[in-house]
Amino acid sequence: MPRPPSSSPRSSRLPRGRSPRARSLGSSRTEILAQRCCRGPPTAPRNPLPPQPRLQRRAQPCHGTKSGSRHECRDELLLRNPQLADAERSRCNLIRLCLSALALVAATALSSIPASAEETCPNPQTALGVSRIVEIDAKAGPLFGGFTKYEKEPRFLGPKEVVLTFDDGPMPKYTKPILDALDKFCTKATFFYVGQMAQAYPDMVKEVMGRGHTMGTHTWSHPLNLRAMSLERSTDQIERGFAAVALAAGQPIAPFFRFPGLSDSAPMLAHLQERGIAAFTVDVVSNDSYIGSPSRLVARTLDQVERQNGGIVLFHDIKASTAHALPTILTELKKRGYKVVHLRSKSVFEPLPALTAELEAKRVAAVQKKASGKPQATAEKPKLVPFYAAISTSTLEATSEPEVTVLAPEAKERVHAGGTHATASAPVATSPEAAGEATQPVTAATPRSKKHARSKRHKKEHDPMSLSGAVSGRW
- Residue 272 pLDDT exceeds 70: yes
Q: 108 near 244, Cβ under 8 Å?
A: no
Output the CA torsion 329→334→338→344 (10° steps). Answer: 80
Q: Does residue 260 sit in helix, strand or coil?
A: helix
Q: In this predicted model, what pLDDT tens digit does every residue of 229-266 receive, in sequence order?
A: 999 999 999 999 999 999 999 999 999 999 999 999 99
The pLDDT value recorded for residue 468 is: 38
Estimate to the nearest angstrom the gap between the alpha carbon of 67 and the chain centroid. 53
Q: How confident is the model at residue 12 (pLDDT cuts 50, 70, 90)?
A: very low
Q: How many CB atoms sit inside 10 A of residue 414's CB?
A: 23
Give the per-residue pLDDT at 327: 96
Give 341-400 pLDDT, tens digit per residue. 999 999 999 999 999 999 999 988 888 888 876 555 554 444 444 433 333 333 333 335
C-alpha 401, offset from chain centre: 22
- The pLDDT tens digits of the residues spanning 205-234 come to 999 999 999 999 999 999 988 999 999 999
Q: Which of 466, 37, 467 is nearest to 261 (CA)?
A: 467
Closest to 411 (Cα-Cα) out of 312, 280, 270:
270
| pTM assigned to the model | 0.62
458: helix, strand or coil: helix
